């Protein structure tokens, strides 16, 4: 299992996100800095998928993440490049 984490400042305070990949399936959980309990995010909004893609892109550039992860998320979001000649 692989985990990828990031955080952002909100009106509620600092919110942490964690995306776990296990058996080719992604799960998202979130918590506030002041709250010790993690909550599952279901359904996952598109904005979170785009944040995860950005995190993975930065990791890929440092050779810490395989390109396949980014391709899979692009396919899911419909951002995959069109084949040439069509």
| Inter-residue contact 16 to 29 (CB < 8 Å) | no
Beta bridge partners of 7: 16
Q: Is residue 86 part of a domain?
A: no
Tens of pLDDT along 69-86?
999 999 999 876 666 655
Q: What is the pLDDT of residue 66?
A: 94
- Take residue 3 and report the two structure tokens written for it: 């985990």
Examine residue 60 and state whether it is found in any structural domain, yes or no: yes
Report residues of the chain scoring pLDDT below 50. Answer: none
Structural domain of 34? 2-77
**Domain presence at residue 85:** no
Number of domains in the chain: 1
| Position 83 in a domain | no
Q: Is residue 36 part of a domain?
A: yes
């Amino acid at each position: 299992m692989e985990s990828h984490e990031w955080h952002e400042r909100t009106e509620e305070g600092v919110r942490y996100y964690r995306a776990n990949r296990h058996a080719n399936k992604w799960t998202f959980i979130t918590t506030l800095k002041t709250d010790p309990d993690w909550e599952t995010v279901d359904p996952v909004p598109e904005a979170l998928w785009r944040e995860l893609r950005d995190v993975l892109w930065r990791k890929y550039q440092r050779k810490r993440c395989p390109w396949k992860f980014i391709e899979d998320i692009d396919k899911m979001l419909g951002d995959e490049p069109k084949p040439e000649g069509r």
